[in-house]
Amino acid sequence: MKTRVTELLGIQYPIIQGGMAWVAEHHLAAAVSAAGGLGLIGGANAPGEVVREEIRKAKEITDKPIGVNVMLLSPHADDVAKVVVEEGIKVVTTGAGNPEKYMEMWKAAGIKVIPVVASVALAKRMEKYGADAVVAEGCESGGHIGEQTTMTLVPQVADAVSIPVIAAGGIADGRGIAAAFMLGAEAVQIGTRFVVSKESIVHENYKQRIIKAKDIDSTVTGRSHGHPVRCLRNQMTREYIKLEQEGKSFEELEYLTLGTLRKAVQEGDVVNGTVMAGQIAGMIDKEQTCKEMIEEMMAQASQLMGWK
């Protein structure tokens, strides 16, 4: 199965892994890359040197290409942007902002730049600034989201730009991959399903919360202050949304969630922690290796699409 994205990235399957904060560390990235997709280290809020170590550890596990996601709201984004160049990373995705100021440096280093966008306007701007592809991420995704659904965003972005489009948000099986291709995508980005992979280091409670989730179990916090984050409903989200309705300030609310993603991922506190996950969590029902997930999804998509 060849597309402009598999050619651009030198990967076997048109699947890239989401750059999930605290989750996308070297074991997961290496496993996805070794299985023929593109694994990514999620820079999230980590300092540059931590990301450097993660890149080096991933390279010890696999010699397949590994990418890095630079989270642009991070106070360390400038450092991480330099580390990817120094470590010879060949693919960078970005999230939660506009990566324009880094594009020249990354392009000069021969890095393929793939911004994650949530609107046609940003997709067009990224193409103008030399992006090699874009990820069009719908609000079905977990974590920080935009307003558009995958169903509406992907075809509009595909019509608006000439560079390849990678669809994200709500995709976790071969039907989702086939649907994304029908909307004009040439690859997909998958997050939530990889969270429950055997190679994923997230706490067992977190995995079980996703595996047991029903279709309606996610909610969005932070809409009132313009930082919407999709996560699974629990004590934390109920408290947060109550305070939002009472009109609490961004600072007060941020204080409430400080460190709560780490608490859920590492300590397994799925009651008071932030359990970021996409709306497709309801369909995910078992832990498998990344290789099993990718091969199962590709077999199903291939059958639906008539790919050989």
Binding site for ligand TUI (CB under 6 A): 21, 44, 71, 73, 95-98, 116-118, 122, 137, 143-146, 227, 229
Question: Can you tell me the distance from the alpha carbon of 247 to that of 90, in angstroms, rounded to the nearest whole number?
Answer: 44
Please, which residue, 71 or 270, has the CB nearer to ligand TUI? 71
Q: How far is CA 71 from CA 22, 74, 97, 199, 292, in A?
A: 12, 6, 8, 22, 28
The number of beta carbons lying within 10 Å of the beta carbon of residue 157 is 29
Place of tokens 């996805």: 32
Shortest reach from residue 145's CB to ligand TUI, in Å? 5
Nearer to ligand TUI, 136 or 284 (CB): 136
Closer of 272 and 302 to ligand TUI (Cβ): 272
Find the residue with minimal CB distance to ligand TUI. 143
Helix, strand, coil share of the chain (percent; to 5): 45, 15, 40
Cα separation of 116 and 135, whole Å?
4
What's the min distance (Å) between Cβ of 278 and ligand TUI?
A: 10
Q: CB-wise, 131 or 229, nearer to ligand TUI? A: 229
* Owner of token pair 């995910």: 284
C-alpha span between 275 and 130 (Å, rounded): 35
In the complex, the smallest distance separating the C-beta of residue 8 from ligand TUI, rounded to whole angstroms, is 20
User: Residue 71 CB, nearest distance to ligand TUI (Å)?
Assistant: 5
Of the candidates 290, 268, 127, the residue with the CA atom closest to the CA atom of residue 196:
290
CB of 238 to ligand TUI, least distance (A): 18
SS3 (DSSP) at 110: coil
Shortest Å, Cβ 305 to ligand TUI: 26
Residue (164 or 278) nearer to ligand TUI, CB: 278
Closest CA to 34 of 52, 17, 50: 17
Of the pair 174, 278, the CB lying nearest ligand TUI is at 278
**Residue 219 Cβ vs ligand TUI, minimum distance, rounded to whole Å:** 14
Q: Tell the smallest beta-carbon distance from residue 192 to ligand TUI (Å).
A: 12
How deeply is 259 buried, as exposed, middle or buried, from its count of CB atoms within 10 A (0-12, 13-18, 19+)?
A: exposed
Nearest CB to ligand TUI, comparing residues 158 and 231: 231
Task: Closer to ligand TUI by CB, 59 or 263: give it.
Answer: 263
